[in-house]
Amino acid sequence: MELGIANYTPDDAAIAQVIGARWARITVGCLPDLVANEAAIESAYANGMHAIAVSGATADTICVPMPSAYYENLSFVLDYYSREIGAVEVLGSVEGVYLDGKPAHEWYGEVLREAYSTIVERHPFATVLNGGFGRNADPWFLNNCLTCGDMDAVAINPFAYPVDDLDEYAEQFALNLQQIGAAGYTVWATVFGVPTVPEPVDPEYGRKVLPGDVHAIGADEALDWYKRLLTELEIAGVEACCLMARDLPHYKTPAAWCGLRYADGTDKPWTQELLLWLQERPAAQVLIDLPPEEASEWTLA
């Protein structure tokens, strides 16, 4: 399983090198962000990664509310970038997005079909992915929407929502991954993480998120959750998995606290041990070639 960095910025280059990242997931989004995103794409390629471009919108911010506007924006964005894009994720996490009052599973298949032809016309070697779905890799969205075939691989965003004990959660996680794999698609986890207690604790954390309360994992448990669930992804044959380099508190969702490091770039209590585990896992193919000033910061005991 190849590793990557989700929400990649040039500031994440060092940690990407440490885990041997091959992919950088970058929301190329709406037109005003093109220059900043181009810098992220150039940084990714300079550090040996391919870009996964998330096109146009996420569940939180719909940049282009109508399909026709989305296709126009998608065409412009893909024409803008001179670099070959390694993969394109069509919209972001779309499960909760409504368009003209319709839930995503009623309109997304059509968007995906049209977007596929737009993408391959401009970037013929890109892997086309659906907008990542799936709390605990729940295959509901796949079963109800993504049977149209107009994608090259299934993208999941299996953020851990730890409402149960680890063994129970991991067993259901593995079962869901088996169901997705049984559909015959290659699977990519374009964003993965386990929410850990934010420092300082955000007063909005712990609000109701369907279904039920979502809780963060304490520092003493986080390492076990990461190791177990990443192992399940590996066993299931997931082709690529992108980890969040740092917390993103402005998201105001549990996913905001899934970073390998805190938002200010400092390590969490378990960060170095997890990085070492990622390097030493049997499937890892890690190439580290850092400038001396960065290598000293990231040297693992």
Q: Can you tell me the mean pLDDT for 191-218?
A: 62
Long-range contacts of 98-105 (CB under 8 A, 24+ apart): 99/65, 99/66, 99/67, 104/141, 104/145, 105/141, 105/144, 105/145
What pLDDT sits at residue 289?
A: 35
Can you give the three-state secondary structure of 166-188, one letter per residue? HHHHHHHHHHHHHHHHHCCCEEE
204 pLDDT band, cuts 50/70/90, is low
Residue 206 has pLDDT above 50, yes or no: no
In the numeric block, which tokens belong to residue 128?
């086309």
Which residues have C-beta within 8 Å of that of residue 95, sequence separation ≥ 6?
59, 104, 133, 134, 141
Please compute Rg for the chain using Cα positions: 18
Q: Encode pLDDT of 154-190 as tens digits.
A: 999 888 876 668 898 899 899 989 888 887 888 999 9
Helix (H, G, I), strand (E, B) or coil at 135: helix
The H or E element that residue 271 is part of is helix 271-280
275 pLDDT band, cuts 50/70/90, is very high
52: left (phi over 0), alpha (psi -120 to 50) or beta: beta
pTM for the whole structure: 0.84
Delimit the domains of the chain by residue range.
2-298
What pLDDT sits at residue 66?
A: 63
144 pLDDT band, cuts 50/70/90, is confident
Q: How many CB atoms within 10 Å of residue 137?
A: 29
What pLDDT sits at residue 100?
A: 66
- Give the residue with greater pLDDT, 264 vs 28: 264
What are the φ/ψ torsions at residue 278 (nearest 5 degrees)? -65, -35
The highest-level CATH class for domain 2-298 is alpha beta
Residue 132: closest CA among 184, 192, 66, 50: 192
Residue 11 has pLDDT above 60, yes or no: yes
The mean-pLDDT minimum among 2-6, 63-67, 185-189 falls in 63-67
Q: Can you tell me the mean pLDDT for 239-249?
A: 91
| Per-chain mean pLDDT for the chain | 78
Residue 216 has pLDDT above 90, yes or no: no
What pLDDT sits at residue 109?
A: 80
Residue 105 has pLDDT above 60, yes or no: yes
In the numeric block, which tokens belong to residue 114?
């049209």
Q: Can you tell me the mean pLDDT for 131-153?
A: 77
273 pLDDT band, cuts 50/70/90, is very high
Angle at which helices 219-235 and 271-280 pack, to 10 degrees?
A: 20
What pLDDT sits at residue 47?
A: 94
Do the beta carbons of residue 52 and residue 78 sit within 8 Å?
Answer: no
- At position 298, the amino acid (one-letter code) is W
